[in-house]
Amino acid sequence: MRMASKPRGGIALSAAFSAAAPGSSIRVYRDKEVIYSQGQSADDVLYVKSGMVKLTIKDNRRRKHAVLAILTKGGIFGEGCLLQKRAARRMSTATSVGSSTIARVVKAVFCHRIEQEPVLAALFSRHLISQAVLLKTDLADHRLNAGSAERRLARVLLAYGSVAEKPTTGFSICPFSQTTLAEIVGTTRSRINGFMNRFRKQGYVRYNGTLEIDAERLMAFLER
């Protein structure tokens, strides 16, 4: 699972997805509302203006699904449609986590702008490279820590803390339910519950109406 952070050059990328940009539109989504579904036709590129988006993929034959990424403000998704000249299909399902504001740009318009605007093309390429690095890092973490779901959970919480708004109390609020955390980590909800209870006793997290995490203590736990 990758946690997308704000890319460099985010202001220019954001301008490409503004309401005034040609071929673009903006919509607000509710919590758990599906933005697009796996298998649907893909004819636009999307940008997270605010909120969070969860990307999941499923295998109907095995009745399994997995979380691919959690995107935050500045994240781009649906870019896979740019690889195909003919009609493309969505490779995953995108769902809003909490309320989110999503901008769309029609594929043909976005491709034209990439071809005509070198600065935008460079920023978009840099963004794609950064996401590829995150995916490789995440894959390596799963391989190297395959037997430690507890450590993977700690890394997921830290990844959220790294892109959250700067906390004022030393704790960052985590918007994910235990069910979502289980999907991200690749384990069961009951195991996540056990890990979170242990984290709470150690002071890594606390419950104050919502789940809050202490990134500094979690990092110390991972460095042991």
Asked whether the beta carbons of 75 and 63 are under 8 A apart, the reply is no
Asked whether the beta carbons of 77 and 56 are under 8 A apart, the reply is no
For residues 115 and 161, membership in a common domain is answered with no
Which of 115, 142, 169 is a domain's end point? 142
For residues 187 and 111, membership in a common domain is answered with no
State the helix-helix crossing angle for 215-222 and 189-202, rounded to 10 degrees.
Answer: 100
* pLDDT mean over 7-34: 80
CA-wise closest residue to 6 among 73, 77, 67, 101: 73
pLDDT tens for each residue of 22-62? 788 999 999 889 999 999 999 999 999 988 898 999 887 77
CATH number at residue 204: 1.10.10.10
Is pTM beyond 0.95? Reply is no
For residues 59 and 161, membership in a common domain is answered with no
Domain count, the chain: 2
Which of 84, 113, 142 is a domain's end point? 142
CB 138: neighbour CB atoms within 10 A? Answer: 19
* Higher per-residue confidence, 96 vs 5: 96
In angstroms, rounded to a whole number, what is the distance separating the alpha carbons of residues 155 and 158? 5
Which of 142, 165, 180 is a domain's end point? 142
Q: Is the confidence at residue 97, as pLDDT, over 50?
A: yes
pLDDT tens for each residue of 173-184? 776 778 888 877
* pLDDT mean over 189-209: 89
For residues 86 and 162, membership in a common domain is answered with no
For residue 88, the model assigns a pLDDT of 84
For residues 52 and 115, membership in a common domain is answered with yes
Asked whether the beta carbons of 220 and 213 are under 8 A apart, the reply is no
* Higher per-residue confidence, 210 vs 126: 126
pLDDT tens for each residue of 139-184? 776 667 655 888 888 888 887 655 444 455 567 777 677 888 887 7
Q: Is the confidence at residue 11, as pLDDT, over 60?
A: no
For residue 38, the model assigns a pLDDT of 94
Label residue 103 by pLDDT band (50, 70, 90): very high
Give me the domain span that covers residue 67.
2-142
For residues 126 and 159, membership in a common domain is answered with no
